[in-house]
Amino acid sequence: MLLAWRQHNVITYAGYILGFPTDTPETIARDIEIIKKELPIDILEFLCLTPLPDSEDHAWTRYYTDEHVETIMRRAVASRLSRRKIRDVLTAFSGSVRIEGVHPLQLGIVRRKVRTQRRYGMPIPGPLVFYPKAIAECAKAMIQWGVLWYRYQRMIMRIHADPAALSYVDEALRPHSGEGDVDKLVDAFADKIPHTHGAPVRVAAVG
């Protein structure tokens, strides 16, 4: 299905929920690595069902590594997706948590802060303290966004200039017949979802 969308120049986007009862930091890391390798998903966002300590930050960091961002861009160029759109959306989704500390869906052009709006019980800072700090934080964030955007712009231009860019293929872009293929993500959960459609059938040992 994902490959079919790519044939129509559609950027693919998916959500991943963290914190199911069987999740651990190790299984989440394993699943993200499988997704990166096997699924041609461009943008992946993480949402928490049950918070695991640091799991959300680690998930964003693990998926949006420079290495995987370059892989996403190579897949995009090979699939003739919009270079500008893939660059901009990758910048927003990879930078929102590391730069602003917010989920991408909470992101804006400039983060607005109101001096008098504070959590209950917290003191309201004076103007001479609040505004210089807010301006400095905003300037720092703008510089970080600019550096990230420029790095991704150079990356996508370098990939586009590669004579072999249009012929790039990896496991995620390889067409699957469905016969004899092992879905590692489904296989990993086979014991937990034995009656779910599509789950692998476990054959009892003989002898």
Q: Where are the domains of the chain?
A: 2-110+152-188
pLDDT at residue number 172: 93
* pLDDT at 105 (0 to 100): 87
pTM of the predicted structure, to 2 decimals: 0.80
Instruction: Using 50 as the pLDDT threshold, list the residues of the chain that sit under it.
Output: none
Residue 50's pLDDT is 80
The pLDDT assigned to 198 comes to: 57
Q: What is the pLDDT of residue 175?
A: 82
| Per-residue pLDDT at 83 | 94
pLDDT in tens, 120-161: 889 999 999 999 999 999 999 999 999 999 999 999 999 999
pLDDT at site 155 = 97
SS (H, E, C) the chain: CHHHHHCCCCCCEEEEEECCCCCCHHHHHHHHHHHHHHCCCCEEEEEECCCCCCHHHHHHHHHCCHHHHHHHHHHHHHCCCCHHHHHHHHHHHHHHHHHHCCCHHHCCCCCCCCCCCCCCCCCCCCHHHHHHHHHHHHHHHHHHHHHHHHHHHHHHHHHHHCCCHHHCCCCCCCCCCCCCCCCHHHHHCCCCCCCCCCCCCCCCCCC
